[in-house]
Amino acid sequence: MEVVNVEKLQGLLNSFANKDIYLHLETTNGAYASHFDETVFNAGAFIRNIVIQYELGKVAGESPHRVGLKLPHGWVYAQGITHFELDEHGRLLMAGHDQTGKLAVALHISEMPFTY
Amino acid sequence: MTLTQERHVLVVFPHPDDEAFGVSGTISMYIKQGTPVTYACLTLGEMGRNLGNPPFATRESLPHIRKDELIASAQAMGLTDLRMMGLRDKTVEFEDDEKMVQMMTKLIEETNPSLIITFYPNYAVHPDHEATARAVVRAVRRMDENLRPKLYAVAFANNTKDDLGEPDVVHDIQEVRDQKMGAMRAHISQTAWMLAEMDKRLAEGEPEAENWFTYERFYNYRWHEDFEETF
- Distance (Å, whole) CA B190 – CA B49: 8
φ, ψ for residue B58, nearest 5 deg:
-115, 170
Question: A86 in helix, strand or coil?
Answer: strand
- B58 and A24: CB-CB below 8 Å? no
For residue B85, pLDDT over 80 is answered with yes
Residue A21: CA count within 13 A, CB half-sphere? 25
**Which residues, 6 or more positions from A72, have their beta carbon under 8 angstroms from its beta carbon?**
A53, A55
Mean pLDDT computed over every residue of chain B? 95
**pLDDT recorded at residue B8:** 98
**pLDDT recorded at residue B207:** 79
| More confident call, B196 vs B224 | B224
Q: Domain coordinates of chain A in residue numbers?
A: 2-110
- B125 and A32: CB-CB below 8 Å? yes
Yes or no: say if A87 and A108 are a contact pair by the CB < 8 Å rule. Answer: no
Residue A65 pairs in a beta bridge with: A81
- Distance (Å, whole) CA B176 – CA B9: 17
Q: Is B69 exposed, middle or buried (0-12, 13-18, 19+ CB in 10 A)?
A: buried
- Distance (Å, whole) CA A70 – CA A58: 9
Handedness of CA B17, B18, B20, B26 (dihedral sign): negative
pLDDT band at B25 (very low <50, low <70, confident <90, very high): very high
Which B-chain residues 162-201 have CB contacts (< 8 A) with chain A? 193
- Distance (Å, whole) CA B80 – CA B175: 20
Share of chain B above pLDDT 90, in %: 85
Yes or no: say if B195 and B94 are a contact pair by the CB < 8 Å rule. Answer: no
Handedness of CA B101, B129, B33, B164 (dihedral sign): negative
Q: Which of B18, B21, B44, B51 to mutate to test the interface with A (most CBs of A within 10 A)?
A: B51
For residue B185, pLDDT over 80 is answered with yes
What superfamily does domain A2-110 belong to in CATH?
A: Hypothetical protein YojF (2.70.180.10)
Give yes or no for B58 touching A (CB within 8 A): yes
Q: pLDDT tens digits for B202-222? A: 888 887 778 889 999 999 999
Question: Which among B49, B88, B127 has CB closest to A103?
Answer: B49
For residue B37, pLDDT over 90 is answered with yes
Total Cβ atoms within 10 A of residue B102: 14
Yes or no: say if B30 and B152 are a contact pair by the CB < 8 Å rule. Answer: no
Q: Can you list the residues of chain A whose pLDDT is less than 50? A: none
For residue B20, pLDDT over 90 is answered with yes
Taking the complete model, does pTM exceed 0.90, yes or no? yes
For residue B192, pLDDT over 90 is answered with no
Tell me the CATH number for domain B9-222. Answer: 3.40.50.10320
Q: pLDDT tens digits for B45-73? A: 999 998 866 788 999 999 999 999 999 99
